[in-house]
Amino acid sequence: MTVVPLPELDTEEHHTAAGRRRSRTRINQRLAEVFQTGTKAHWLERLRAARIPCAPVNTVADAVEQPQTLARNMMVDVNLLTGETVRMPGNPIKLSETNAETYSPPPRLGADTDEVLTTLLGKNEAQLSRLRELGAI
């Protein structure tokens, strides 16, 4: 069964790892060209039917919709202070005796600026005012 129609790559040299390594750039280029002619599902089906080990390379959108991702509550809906809901990554740490997961909305842009600048950097009110005048904060 021919899975990928590239007879020009079926050479004696390519029957060894060393030979394939020498031609890696050309092989990868031709495979990329052929794989673009079908969907990911199409090629996975053909490769699996030929019992060739393979797995999809998921986009972020694909990964967050995987059944295991959803079953493990790895994506959660969090209510923002504006009343909107945003989908965010869940806690990856799952403990058998602790299943209460609570999520807080992220702070609004600039909500903690004054506290960070005064507490961590020692800025005073006059310096904060000057930074505001300059448009830095």
Q: Is the pLDDT of residue 97 over 90?
A: no
Domain extent, residue 27, equals: 7-49
Helix (H, G, I), strand (E, B) or coil at 52: coil
Using the predicted structure, report yes or no on whether residue 83 has a pLDDT greater than 80: yes
Indicate whether 81 belongs to any domain: no
When pLDDT is averaged across residues 100-112 and rounded to a whole number, the result is: 85
Is 18 a domain residue? yes
Q: Which pTM value belongs to this model?
A: 0.55
pLDDT at 100 over 80: no
State residue 9's pLDDT score.
94
Residue 126 lies in a domain: yes
pLDDT, mean over the chain: 92
- pLDDT over 90 at 46, yes or no: yes
Asked if the structure places residue 15 within a domain, the reply is yes
Task: Kindly state whether residue 21 falls inside one of the protein's structural domains.
Answer: yes
Q: What distance in Å separates the CA atoms of residue 53 and residue 36, rounded to the nearest whole number? A: 19
Q: Is 57 a domain residue?
A: no
Distance CA 45, CA 131 (A): 59
How many percent of the chain have pLDDT more than 70? 99
What is the number of structural domains in the chain? Answer: 2
133 lies in some domain? yes
φ, ψ at 14 (rounded to 5°): -80, 0
Does 73 map to a domain?
A: no
